[in-house]
Amino acid sequence: MSFTRIAQLEEDFQLATYKKMDIAVERGSGAWVWTSEGEKYLDLYGGHAVCATGHSHPHVVKAIQEQAEKILFYSNLVYSNIRARAAEKLVSVAPANLGKTFFCNSGTEANENAMRAARMATGREKVVSFSGGFHGRTADSISATFLGKYREIGRPNVPSHVQAEFGNIESVASVADRQTAAMILEPIQSMAGVREAAPEFFREMRDLCDELGIVLIFDEVQTGVGRTGNWFFAGSELAGGVEPDIITLAKSLGSGIPVGACLFNEAVASSIKENDLGTTFGGGMMAMAAVLATLEAIEMDGMIENAKAFETLLRSEMQNVVRVVAVHGKGFLIGIEFEGACAPIHKQLLDSKIITGTSSAANVLRLLPPLCSDVYESVTLLKRVLSGITHN
Ligand SMILES: Cc1ncc(COP(=O)(O)O)c(C=O)c1O
């Protein structure tokens, strides 16, 4: 079917709630996708930070195919070999204090469950979250999202959410108290324009939470599963070694098969009783096959090391590109800040067959490439187009 026809059908029959690029993606391999018109694009956006292992990684595809032939689904009311192995593998790469998983279906659902668990563990209701943070679009998660107009979209909001300033411990201390159940934050604020905080901030957050008995939640929906050059931001030197009480995950975790997860420490996990949390599809066999194979593929192909190499080369190559003001972020979660608005640059890159993303900061272009990307090729192609644009 032609692009025009595909676009027309989507416009006719799909709710007009997404701003789309003018391409229809038909297939992908590694860091490349092909469109309905047979054109090849370099994907520096990874399907919105989802396709971490690259498009249709053979190991992941094989695992899904094999699982599909055995059984598509059975719920958590039975044990499952593939669920057992996926949970064991996920815990094995997580920070040492996080020994229990809860599988769900998306990032927002992971955050809902994390906040609920924190309230159950503490017997408190208040949740502190941050200016510029994004946590999803269901009721509790959108109420914790102080970025832009999201809380407005989510009205009426869940009560007991308060805002602190990201990276500013005095601001956090001024709203946190012994009525606070949880603090939830994106350790790198992706949608806000890839905003970072110093390791000291995470250490001070940890101390404050310990002092007041507050559950610390890292929303690693974007930063998790290798993207920053560590399995998780939590516990890494980027976080000053800080281990939160809960990590939430989604996006990359299943290489594109929808899946979310919470990782809990023992103190929180032991406060959750039978039937406190649950979801029909969480831990389904197809998703679990995808999780296990994703983690294995990242390990086998050395993708975490690749993330560090990408950041290093990109930072160095962007130095001489006219109008690039700064490079933010870590590994494969990068924000390139320009002198002016980046929307025209995003468009010109697309015209040059490179997919990138924008952010809520008008001058920050976001890169969320597959972790398998060829570092030299990606940076070279990007630089070539950016240099051409800025010299025009
Ligand atoms: C940091 C973060 N948390 C949560 C979410 C929500 O995830 P989902 O769209 O899977 O519900 C997102 C989605 O973009 C996100 O970036």
pLDDT at 392: 43
Res 389: pLDDT = 76
Residue 17 CA to ligand 1 centre (angstroms):
16
Helix-, strand-, coil-residue percentages of the chain, each rounded to 5: 40, 20, 40
Residue range 123-143, pLDDT digits in tens: 999 999 999 999 999 999 999
Mutation probe of ligand 1 site: the residue of 17, 135, 255, 358 with most atoms within 8 A of C-beta? 135
Closest ligand 1 atom number to CA of residue 107: 7
Rounded Cα gap, residues 326 and 331, in angstroms: 15
Q: Whose C-alpha lies nearest to ligand 1, atom 7?
A: 107
Ligand 1 lining (C-beta closer than 6 Å):
106-108, 111, 134-136, 186, 190-191, 219, 221-222, 250
pLDDT at 174: 98
Q: What is the pLDDT of residue 391?
A: 44
Residues of the chain with pLDDT under 70: 390-392
Q: Match 């870590």 to its residue by tokens.
A: 330
Say if residue 201 is exposed, middle or buried (CB neighbours under 10 Å; 0-12, 13-18, 19+): buried
Neighbours of 261 (CB within 10 A): 31
Strand partners, 25: 35
81-118 confidence digits (pLDDT tens): 999 999 999 999 999 999 999 999 999 999 999 999 99
Which of 237, 129, 140, 137 minimizes the C-alpha distance to 185?
A: 129
Q: How many CB atoms lie within 10 A of CB 71?
A: 12
Tell me what pLDDT residue 61 has.
Answer: 98
For residues 361 and 347, what is the distance between their CA atoms, to the nearest angstrom? 16
CA–CA separation, 31 and 370 (whole Å) = 6
- Name the residue with tokens 């997404």: 18
